[in-house]
A = this chain, B = another copy of it.
Amino acid sequence: MARVIVDVMPKPEILDPQGKAVHGALPRLGFTAVTDVRQGKRFELEVPHVDDESLAEVHRIAETLLSNPVIEDFTVRVDA
């Protein structure tokens, strides 16, 4: 059994209201070291074994179900 990670983040040119809300809350909580925050999603997918076929399927899942390609970018990687 192996784990494949799909990270989905808003594209850089897309407004990210969730990240902005977190960023706006930081100074009110006394945190000053962070200059920007972006929020996305992380998916952990279990597959019986990692090969070209299962990775291609995870890629199609990421493209069609886990992300909205109009406003989000995704990356697929095998968990170390």
Residues on A lying within 8 angstroms of B by beta carbon are: 1, 7-9, 19, 22, 25-26, 29, 31-48, 53-54, 57-58, 60-61, 64-66
Given known A22-B66, A58-B33, contact A41–B43 (CB-CB < 8 A):
no
Given known A36-B45, A39-B41, contact A22–B65 (CB-CB < 8 A):
yes
Contacting pair A37 B44 (CB below 8 A): yes
Residue of B nearest to A51 (CB): B33
Q: Which residue in B22, B33, B42 is a CB contact (below 8 Å) of A7?
A: B42
How close is A55's CB to chain B, nearest CB, in angstroms?
Answer: 9
Q: Which residues of B contact A32 (CB under 8 A)?
A: 57
Q: Which residues of B contact A22 (CB under 8 A)?
A: 43, 65-66
Contacting pair A60 B31 (CB below 8 A): yes
